[in-house]
Chain A
Amino acid sequence: MAVSRLASSSSSLSKLLLRPLPAPPFSRSFSAIASDDDGTVLTIETSVPFTGHKIDPPSRSVDTTRNELLSFFHDMSVMRRMEIAADSLYKAKLIRGFCHLYDGQEAVAIGMEAAITKRDSIITAYRDHCTFLGRGGTLVEVFSELMGRRSGCSKGKGGSMHFYKKEAGFYGGHGIVGAQIPLGCGLAFAQKYSKDETVTFALYGDGAANQGQLFEALNMSALWDLPVILVCENNHYGMGTAEWRASKSPAYYKRGDYVPGLKVDGMDVLAVKQACKFAKEHALKNGPIILEMDTYRYHGHSMSDPGSTYRTRDEISGVRQERDPIERVRKLILTYEISSASELKDIEKGIRKEVDEAIRQAKESPMPDPSELFTNVYVKGFGVEAFGADRKEVKAVLP
């Protein structure tokens, strides 16, 4: 079914023959201007072509729609705003403990979601606020969990590093570096076993790429053809250590050796979407594949890290100017005249309000009940005995 396009920018023909699904990679590389009809397929080139390791990379022409681009802009802006708000809350000591922020890397979370369903599973490390949001989590759940309140996604017991959402296949939220990778392969095994055509995305960072358990998991996945996609979110710094100082080979997409890999510009949401779609198809047929997302975090490793002792401020602002994921989508939206600059500003203002409202609601949520300290250690209570400082209180066998 051919898609006819108008090269003219003043399109008033809203009755183009359209295909609601993205066109296959052989579609032409110039795009149509979307009119009010939001089914128009735009074909946009990724910033850079993909690089493959033992696999033919997908085309760099990505199909998208007007609405999809707007939703990318909106969702990434929510994530960005949320992380910045979390920064302020942390400095105000409303969030305690550890807080690892994701701003700069939003395109990875959003692009991935655009390519998969909620029946696919995602498992990641501790930089999980935005991944959780992408899986359908709400802002109130995020801020409540960060502040340790009852309405948090893990009932306030997990904190920043342990967000989970069972209904959406989000398996969290893990503190120990690299430990989530074999878990991800286990998830994939279960999916393969139940034959439901779903996959698991196991995310890890460039620091974790040197953990032995990654290679153990790779071998098992390849041996058993598990539908797992291992995504290395390479933000080039493992805490404060640059990748070239920690890894003999920073080409993480090649580290799988016998497992094929793809290197993706992680700041380009369309590239991420294309790669994840490609990877899902591959994994369901052939087994594991590695995706290396070349991305960047603006904040330091965590809130205790200023982020400027191991990299220059010029580098950070350089990336912000040249490669910021939200700005890229903004430019696309403006170029294709999907929306105007002031409308986008309005969206951002609305998001700010949304985030502030969520924070307000989260602050009202109470702390978990002290008895929750003992719940869920085991399924049934094992009779953990505990008593307060004053032995006059009865020794209670708590659940």
Chain B
Amino acid sequence: MALRGLGRRISIGKRCFSSASEVEKRPRDGKQINLFSAINQALHIALETDSRAYVFGEDVGFGGVFRCTTGLADRFGRNRVFNTPLCEQGIAGFAIGLAAMGNRAIAEIQFADYIYPAFDQIVNEAAKFRYRSGNQFNCGGLTIRSPYGAVGHGGHYHSQSPEAFFCHVPGLKWLYRLAVEEVPERDYMLPLSQAEVIRQGSDITLVGWGAQLSVLERACDEAAKDGISCELIDLRTLIPWDKETVEASVRKTGRLLVSHEAPVTGGFGAEISASIAERCFLRLEAPVARICGLDTPFPLVYEPFYMPTKNKVLDAIKATVNY
């Protein structure tokens, strides 16, 4: 998938360690590959089609810790695909400058947990560049890629989901993709800010993104056994997010459940919940449910308790439907 378009993009991919369950086949001409291969293909296409595209970050040269950048250095050379030293703030700032000169800078932050030193650069430098220069400059060619989310043993600093911090910043775009999807092999464009209805249903709308979708899908399957028909939406872009699709779905079902790994307080589910409550207040049959991580630091041994698991989601589905 080539991620094209303007606007500063931060693309978050889920690691493929989790048991990404069978994804329902969607009508597309493609073969099912995992996220890393898809990213790898996309990067190959991006570097091939744009001679001013660069990929850099910690350890990307040999292929990266998740193998997203394999083969790039050999194919495109070390001047376009190169390692940086261990300095996230430096990487982000450097990428912004490169993008401001009209290049397609694709920076990698090794784990989303490490993105915080770069926070100032992203929020203060990248996001506001076009705005503060009166459209003279922009870093629309900037993409920052980072794996996020829990793997089962990541502990405090290899498991976080920092989306809520960044979604609060106008000027950024924040994207997710599923762990396993059907992906065409050719170059193609997906519109950003368009959510996808993965499953049609009539009783309740479930909204999620990234790896959490596999959890939600399993919950849908279980709920179906109890005769509850769930509509599942993959939000895909968090900002700007596709309010219309979610609203249309909630108008149909009357119930909404949002689920994400990040802690519930101040998480992105809160934004979705508030917006939908504004738009669909009279249509809602039950309060919007949020099944999210707990309000603690991401734990080590307690990860199974912390996570928004299938059972928690299922429980909330039933409670919402029976409200």
A137 is an interface residue with CB less than 8 A from chain B: no
Complex Cα spacing A212 to B300, Å: 28
0 or 1 for each of A239-278: is its CB under 8 Å from B? (1 = yes): 1110001110000000000000000000000000000000
Is the Cβ of A176 less than 8 Å from the Cβ of B157?
yes
Complex Cα spacing A244 to B273, Å: 51
Question: Closest residue of chain A to B319, judged by CB?
Answer: A391
Is the Cβ of B294 less than 8 Å from the Cβ of A386?
yes
Complex Cα spacing A386 to B299, Å: 15
Residues in B neighbouring A309, C-beta threshold 8 A = 62
Residues in A neighbouring B83, C-beta threshold 8 A = 241, 245-246
B186 is an interface residue with CB less than 8 A from chain A: no
Is the Cβ of A390 less than 8 Å from the Cβ of B296?
no
Count of residues in B whose CB is under 8 Å from the partner chain: 36
0 or 1 for each of A363-377: is its CB under 8 Å from B? (1 = yes): 000011010111001
Closest CB-CB distance, A238 to chain B, in whole Å? 6
A97 is an interface residue with CB less than 8 A from chain B: yes
A175 is an interface residue with CB less than 8 A from chain B: yes
Interface-facing stretch out of B34-42, B249-257, B301-309: B301-309
0 or 1 for each of A351-384: is its CB under 8 Å from B? (1 = yes): 0000000000000000110101110010000101
Is the Cβ of A212 less than 8 Å from the Cβ of B86?
no
Complex Cα spacing A372 to B59, Å: 37
A162 is an interface residue with CB less than 8 A from chain B: yes
B156 is an interface residue with CB less than 8 A from chain A: yes
Interface-facing stretch out of A5-13, A17-25, A152-160: A152-160
Is the Cβ of A176 less than 8 Å from the Cβ of B113?
yes
0 or 1 for each of B280-323: is its CB under 8 Å from A? (1 = yes): 00000000000000111101111001100101101100010000
Residues in B neighbouring A210, C-beta threshold 8 A = 85-87, 90
Complex Cα spacing A377 to B90, Å: 31
Is the Cβ of B305 less than 8 Å from the Cβ of A384?
no
A224 is an interface residue with CB less than 8 A from chain B: no
**What is the interface of chain A mostly: helix, strand, loop, or mixed?**
loop
**Residue of B58, B299, B315 touching A373 (CB-CB under 8 A):** B299
Is the Cβ of A373 less than 8 Å from the Cβ of B295?
no
**Residue of B301, B306, B311 touching A367 (CB-CB under 8 A):** B301
**Residue of B85, B152, B302, B312 touching A246 (CB-CB under 8 A):** B85
A288 is an interface residue with CB less than 8 A from chain B: no
A177 is an interface residue with CB less than 8 A from chain B: yes
**Residue of A211, A367, A384 touching B87 (CB-CB under 8 A):** A211
Residues in B neighbouring A247, C-beta threshold 8 A = 85
Contacting residues of chain B (78-109) with chain A, CB-CB under 8 angstroms = 83, 85-87, 89-90
Complex Cα spacing A368 to B306, Å: 14
Residues in A neighbouring B8, C-beta threshold 8 A = none
Is the Cβ of B87 less than 8 Å from the Cβ of A161?
no
Is the Cβ of B86 less than 8 Å from the Cβ of A97?
no
Complex Cα spacing A309 to B62, Å: 10
A98 is an interface residue with CB less than 8 A from chain B: yes
Is the Cβ of B59 less than 8 Å from the Cβ of A377?
no
**Residue of B113, B154, B301 touching A156 (CB-CB under 8 A):** B301
A96 is an interface residue with CB less than 8 A from chain B: yes
A148 is an interface residue with CB less than 8 A from chain B: yes
B114 is an interface residue with CB less than 8 A from chain A: yes
Residues in B neighbouring A377, C-beta threshold 8 A = 295-297
Residues in B neighbouring A157, C-beta threshold 8 A = 299-302
Residues in B neighbouring A372, C-beta threshold 8 A = 302
B155 is an interface residue with CB less than 8 A from chain A: yes
B158 is an interface residue with CB less than 8 A from chain A: yes
Complex Cα spacing A382 to B294, Å: 13
Is the Cβ of A176 less than 8 Å from the Cβ of B301?
no
Closest CB-CB distance, A390 to chain B, in whole Å? 6
Question: Closest residue of chain B to A388, judged by CB?
Answer: B312
Question: Closest residue of chain A to B152, judged by CB?
Answer: A96
Contacting residues of chain B (147-163) with chain A, CB-CB under 8 angstroms = 152-158
Closest CB-CB distance, B96 to chain A, in whole Å? 15
Complex Cα spacing A156 to B300, Å: 9
**Known contacts being A246-B85, A370-B305, is A162 close to B312, with CB within 8 Å?**
no
Is the Cβ of B113 less than 8 Å from the Cβ of A148?
no
Is the Cβ of A98 less than 8 Å from the Cβ of B315?
no
Residues in A neighbouring B302, C-beta threshold 8 A = 157, 368, 370, 372-373
**Known contacts being A96-B153, A97-B155, A176-B157, is A373 close to B296, with CB within 8 Å?**
yes
**Known contacts being A241-B83, A370-B302, A373-B299, is A175 close to B157, with CB within 8 Å?**
yes
Complex Cα spacing A96 to B153, Å: 6
Complex Cα spacing A374 to B296, Å: 7
Complex Cα spacing A148 to B114, Å: 24
A76 is an interface residue with CB less than 8 A from chain B: no
Residues in A neighbouring B87, C-beta threshold 8 A = 210-212
On B, residues with C-beta under 8 Å from A are 58-59, 62, 83, 85-87, 89-90, 113-114, 116-117, 152-158, 294-297, 299-302, 305-306, 309, 311-312, 314-315, 319
9 closest A-B pairs by beta carbon, nearest first, are A389-B311, A175-B157, A148-B301, A210-B85, A373-B302, A97-B153, A96-B153, A246-B85, A159-B300
| Cross-chain pairs A/B with CB under 8 angstroms, 8 sampled | A157-B300, A157-B301, A367-B301, A368-B301, A370-B302, A370-B305, A373-B299, A390-B311
Q: A175-B113, A210-B87 are known; give 6 further A-B pairs, CB within 8 A.
A: A162-B156, A176-B117, A176-B157, A246-B85, A384-B294, A386-B294
